[in-house]
Amino acid sequence: MKTNDVILQTTTKVVFFIIFLFSIHIFFAGHYTPGGGFVGGLLTTGALLLLLLAFDLKTVRKALPFNFLIVVALGLLIALLTSAWPMLFNEPFLTHAFGDYDLPFLGESSLHTATLFDLGVYLVVVGAGMTMIQTIGGDT
């Protein structure tokens, strides 16, 4: 018997982007307000979990053809590189640099290399969460 999930699928197509944008906002707002890489990664995992609930595992694998273990490895590599980069300039491990820049469209903004470290945390959380969900939910 085929079930008709048109309400759930249409709602998911709208709500997925709201959750995803909110997770991106929480990721970038982590320096001055609550949030950061961990919560942003968990929210992105929640958005992808909503896609997995409304559609099936094969469709989501076709839409996002990542191996999420590689995403974990990429996040760890980014975190390691951003923390080891200052050692080339005779600074201690995990020294972060920041500065004010005048960006063309965004105006004057303060950029910090801790965001890159946070990007590593984000990728590790998304990759680990999606690996767990896909491994437990699939291939029974």
Chain residues binding another protein by CB under 8 A are 3, 8, 15, 19, 22, 26, 29, 33-35, 39, 43, 46, 49-50, 52-59, 133, 137-140
**Min. distance of Cβ 15 from another protein in angstroms?**
7
Task: Return the ∠ at Cα 47 (arms to 46 and 51), rounded to 5°.
Answer: 115
CA gap 33, 52 in Å, rounded: 30
**Min. distance of Cβ 62 from another protein in angstroms?**
11
CA gap 81, 93 in Å, rounded: 10
User: CA gyration radius for the chain?
Assistant: 18
Considering the complex, state which of residue 19 and residue 119 has its C-beta at the smaller distance from another protein: 19
Considering the complex, state which of residue 29 and residue 74 has its C-beta at the smaller distance from another protein: 29
CA gap 100, 45 in Å, rounded: 32
Q: How far is CA 126 from the centre of its chain?
A: 5
Residue position matching structure tokens 């890489």:
37
Considering the complex, state which of residue 25 and residue 96 has its C-beta at the smaller distance from another protein: 25
Considering the complex, state which of residue 44 and residue 82 has its C-beta at the smaller distance from another protein: 44
